[in-house]
Structure 1
Amino acid sequence: MQRGTFQLMKTVNRSLILNKIRLAAPISRADIAKETGLTPPTVSTIVKELIEQGLVVESTLGSSSGGRKPKMLRIRTEGLFVIGVDAGPETVDCILTTLTGEVIGTISRNLQVYTNREFLKQLSQAVDYLLESYSVKREHILGIGIAMHGVVDAEAGIGQVAPILKLHNIPIKQEMESAFGVPVKVENDARAMALGEAWFGKYDTYETIVAVNIGSGIGAGIIIQGRLLHGAAGLAGEFGHMSIDLNGEICACGNRGCLQTFASGPAIAKRAGMISGEAVYQAAVRGEETARNILQETGRTLGIGLINLIHLLNPDRIILGGGVMQSAAYLLPSLKEEIKARALTDKAAKTEIHISELEERATALGAVALLLEELFAPV
């Protein structure tokens, strides 16, 4: 066996054991071996390494069937943390969690930038403020996940195009790793949201899931058999830039008639002549017919976009999140009617549509999941 093959197997086995402990803790070494199919010596060796690395700890003693009581294992939750950042376009929202994803705390700061340097500075300041707010030292952070709007080169950790902020080629990973001295993972915000739903939303990650983030812009994250789809050039999921009107308004991306010029928060506000999508929602709640009609029309437009997704990907379920979905009561009926009317088959018409239960935390939790996936998910 070649050395590289052995090392890969060891990495796969390590992730397999870590994930089993994460999901089934407290669990004994013997039960890990039984449930993973790995040999007891392999489990013991890897568990020993994980304990030495401070990722796993022995907790209470388990029950015995006659011999010595087994020592039970769990993921260490004391003194090791992960940070998730939902970076823009209007605020920087940070979340602090343990290695099991338990939320310790959150902060939010307004974002107003005109250059890459300003953006990166405010990003660093937000993370520092989170650490200060919860009295956590930098050396206790295992890593930082950052969800960024626009086109992201996830491998290089670069924000290639952030159209709403009008920024290009932002070296997020490089600068944040230099500032904090920990691994940094960067991903498009909608893809991060999809990962957050898969990890924390209690869905089967081996289904085809599309998570659509509808806020200041519109994006989608696509998970196929547990893996995020990035596409050949990192553009997979740019749902908001699907052209639905060749003669429509010019979008922030420069094209005409993109979906987000009709259904994003700012687009809804503009049609209603109000300051924000939130204001339109509040007007609808008060019973203003114009606001309700605009939201119903927005639902129909989203339904047209979603039926295109259904016909293209045929997902098991679609999860809708972002600030605009606060208006779900007014959007969903017309949205579902449009899907039903336009679907090619009865089964496609019945594609499950869910509202995110993670709500405003979905994207930041997805940023956390970028690190947890690196740690726990099998290669």
Structure 2
Amino acid sequence: MPAIPTDAVRVADVAARIGGSVRGDAGRLVSGVASLASATISDLSYFSGNRRGIQPDKTSAGVVLCQSKHQDALPSGAVLILVPNPQSAFVDVLEWLFPRSEPTKCIDPCAHIHPTADLADDVTVGAHVVIGAGCRIASGVRIGPGCILGENISIGSDTELIARVTVMNHCEIGARCVIQPGAVIGSDGFGLINEQGRWRRVPQLGRVVIGDDVDIGANTTIDRGALDDTRIDNGAKLDNLIQVAHNVEIGAHSAIAGCAGLAGSSVVGKYCTLGGGVGLAGHLTLVDGVHITGMSMVTRSIRQPGVYSAGTPLDTNDNWHKNAARFKQLERIAHRVQALETGLNALRKNDEENL
């Protein structure tokens, strides 16, 4: 269903806002935004290039943001706003037409705040929030309903905890972060030793330290370090349902998609991306600029930037079973090939000696 802003706006005003040039009727009104597939004549959409399932020539959108090289792919009746980066420009339009509502600066009477907690005057605290002793909450922070903050926690300015976020003792969260519902920050890491067949828990004494401008998705868990800290650097973006184990380090501006799992003491460099379902074994390092495609299992450190993949693509069940059976024969086949190569080299050497 298309989203509808408070008031309709002219194409000329949209173009001026994002620095684009108009091809068509600059006076046309935009009263909604939508995808190319669902947009109507009164909606604005964007096209950033051919992608699977997108048919730009079939759209009914009245206004489309696009690059000049793609304008011929769109219907002649659409008004176009030509920009260098349509997707980024579309986000600019969304932020303009649908600004985030500013909450009323207040503390809900149902919240429980320890007397030693230090909150800035304009902090917003929702219903049933618990804030422990020694917490330091900076200006503009918004703490949504049901959040629980332990003791001696620091939260930087303009950070928002949406709802039901749990932050355990001594953790630090930077400025302008957004943490989605159900996230748990600073729970004990999975630190165990085996003594004569029985598991013994190792005390987890480190913290979680999160930089500025970090996003953390719903139900993502970030464990505290065992002795040193678990660290998430500035600008990192974590999707929903990610497990970050103790002593993991995630570099600045890296992005990790949903259901990824990072085992203890793994290090992810700056500007890395991990696709959905990626698994990192513990005690390994990815250098800056490494990109791991979805569902890959990483079992060794990666020392060169680039794109890496693992796993087998989806196939019919019959073909998969045949290939799985062949996988079991790879070791034997490798030995046979090696033996054949050794034999051929011996024959070649013998022929050369007889010439």
TM-score, normalised on structure 2?
0.26
Counting helix residues as a fraction of each chain, which structure ranks higher?
1
| Bigger RCO (CA 8 Å, 6+ sep) | 1
Counting strand residues as a fraction of each chain, which structure ranks higher?
2
TM-score, normalised on structure 1?
0.25
The structure with more radius of gyration? 2
